[in-house]
């Protein structure tokens, strides 16, 4: 380990001394702690604020999350919550604890990329779903139960888009959401009646506030609603009928591209899946979709123009040969061929890439190079974001931070990692072109 990293580690250990007091560590646990402290000031800060957290993480971080465990953890954290303020505080404390655990496993390579992104997505799902359920019941106390014409209770449907929908969230992702509800009607049984649209509009605003607001305890997830019909100028919540009408009459090809990754993440999952099935013909055409070629060319040209922006090379997502180009290659084939080849109607990029040689005839070497580059780029992305829990894909400008990132990707020097990155990005850029 170079001198700069050794000096940094000593400083980090001094900062977390309260959590280490009386804690006996095995050699492997001590090595894991050192790697995380080199890689993440965010984790260090959590250990400083909550010294007891260090012992908890050391004792539990070697075990992967089991299916359904994240929901259990969120439910446990919300036990006894009686106000929106306490709901916000409980979710933020939970988020900090789980992020420390996820980063610990990721930087120590106790988890691969798939496990890390799935755990982050499960955390977002569980926080959205449980917060929504609590807020729904709280709102009913004032306005009653939203029902359809037959008196059946209606619930909000929360659609996750982008990396959230695909269960590919990174360590500091925002979450792209769309809100919808099945049918119009009015609430009943409350002190004052509201139309369903107004009830769910209020519910959606409160959910965004609970998740997105920066408080003294931080935030849960940054929420972006701009992918909804008509974008930021459109209504926050739309009925199923309005959603179907919009996409049938005004939906654009970039929205088809975006909906490839759509998934119901909270609320009425059964009704939501029916909505997505109704939108499937808009996303995937039954024939080879030559009409999409021009739109894909336009999108590709836009990406190429943005790649030439000064300083963009240091951005491993948006720069030339970055993550976005790998995603574009896979999703372009999905749009064009997905209507006829249902196996291409999947959300996760790493599930799509292996299908391309048989489905569309691309060489296996192309798929192998794209997969290897994507894994490296995503792991570097996580190492960048682990430093300070910041939503960025920019390589940091200072040498020490670059060395910290390289160390966490296999005890490399920055020059070694830079060489690997340049080779991977050249491959992606070649195939994108």
Give pLDDT tens digits for 227-236. 999 999 999 9
Between 292 and 392, residue with greater pLDDT: 392
Query: What are the respective helix, strand and coil percentages of the chain, to the nearest 5?
Result: 65, 10, 30
Res. 307: pLDDT tops 80: no
Summarised one tens digit per residue, pLDDT across range 248-265 is 999 988 899 999 999 999
Local confidence band at 278 (pLDDT 50, 70, 90 cut-offs):
very high
**pTM given for the model:** 0.95
| Average pLDDT score, the chain | 94
Q: How many CB atoms lie within 10 A of CB 83?
A: 9
3-state secondary structure (DSSP) of residue 158: strand
Per-residue pLDDT of 318-364, as tens digits, reads 999 999 999 999 998 998 888 888 999 999 999 999 999 999 999 99
- Work out the pLDDT band at 194, boundaries 50, 70, 90: very high
Q: How far apart (Å, rounded) are the C-alpha atoms in residues 323 and 57? A: 31
Per-residue confidence band for 288, with pLDDT thresholds at 50, 70 and 90 = low
Q: Which pLDDT band holds residue 289 (cuts at 50, 70, 90)?
A: low
Q: What is the mean pLDDT of residues 368-382?
A: 98
pLDDT at residue 340, rounded to an integer = 86
Q: Which of 303, 331, 296, 299 is nearest to 317 (CA)?
A: 303
* Local confidence band at 310 (pLDDT 50, 70, 90 cut-offs): low
Burial class (CB in 10 A: 0-12, 13-18, 19+), 24: exposed
How does pLDDT run across 391-432, given as a tens digit for each residue? 999 999 999 999 999 999 999 999 999 999 999 999 999 998
What are the residues whose beta carbons fall under 8 Å from the beta carbon of 286, sequence distance 6 or more? 339, 340
pLDDT-derived band at 290, boundaries 50, 70, 90: low
How would residue 187 be classed by pLDDT, with cut points 50, 70 and 90? very high
More confident residue, 300 or 354: 354
Q: Determine contact, residues 413/403, Cβ cutoff 8 Å.
A: yes
């Amino acid at each position: 380990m170079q001198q700069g990293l050794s000096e940094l580690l000593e400083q980090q250990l001094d900062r977390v001394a309260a959590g280490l007091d009386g804690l006996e560590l095995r050699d492997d646990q001590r090595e894991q702690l050192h790697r995380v402290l080199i890689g993440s000031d965010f984790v260090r800060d959590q250990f400083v604020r909550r010294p007891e957290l260090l012992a908890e993480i050391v004792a539990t971080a070697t075990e992967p999350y089991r299916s359904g465990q994240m929901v259990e953890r969120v439910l446990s954290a919300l036990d006894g919550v009686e106000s929106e303020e306490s709901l916000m505080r409980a979710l933020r404390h939970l988020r900090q604890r789980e992020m420390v655990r996820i980063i610990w496993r990721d930087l120590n390579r106790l988890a691969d990329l798939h496990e890390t992104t799935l755990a982050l997505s499960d955390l977002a799902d569980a926080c959205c779903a449980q917060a929504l359920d609590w807020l729904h019941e709280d709102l009913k106390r004032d306005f009653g139960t939203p029902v359809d014409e037959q008196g059946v209770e209606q619930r909000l449907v929360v659609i996750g888009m982008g990396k959230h929908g695909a269960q590919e969230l990174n360590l500091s992702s925002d979450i792209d959401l769309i809100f919808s509800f099945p049918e119009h009607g009015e609430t009943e049984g409350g002190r004052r009646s509201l139309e369903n649209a107004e009830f769910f509009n209020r519910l959606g605003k409160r959910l965004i506030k609970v998740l997105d607001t920066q408080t003294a305890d931080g935030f849960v997830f940054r929420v972006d609603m701009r992918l909804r019909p008509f974008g930021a100028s459109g209504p926050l919540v739309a009925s199923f009928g309005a959603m179907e009408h919009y996409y049938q009459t005004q939906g654009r090809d970039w929205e088809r591209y975006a909906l490839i990754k759509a998934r119901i993440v909270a609320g009425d999952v059964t009704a939501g899946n029916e909505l997505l099935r109704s939108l499937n013909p808009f996303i995937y055409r039954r024939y080879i979709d030559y009409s999409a070629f021009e739109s894909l060319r336009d999108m590709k040209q836009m990406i190429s123009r943005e790649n030439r922006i000064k300083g963009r090379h240091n951005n491993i997502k948006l720069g030339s040969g970055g993550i976005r180009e790998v995603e574009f290659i896979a999703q372009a084939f999905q749009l064009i061929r997905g209507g006829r080849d249902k196996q291409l109607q999947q959300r996760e990029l790493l599930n799509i890439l292996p299908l391309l040689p048989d489905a569309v005839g691309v060489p296996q070497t192309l798929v192998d190079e794209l997969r290897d580059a994507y894994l490296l780029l995503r792991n570097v992305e996580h190492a960048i974001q682990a430093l300070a829990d910041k939503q960025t894909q920019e390589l940091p400008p200072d040498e020490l931070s670059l060395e910290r990132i390289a160390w966490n990707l296999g005890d490399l020097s920055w020059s070694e990692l830079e060489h690997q990155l340049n080779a991977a990005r050249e491959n992606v850029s070649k195939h994108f072109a």
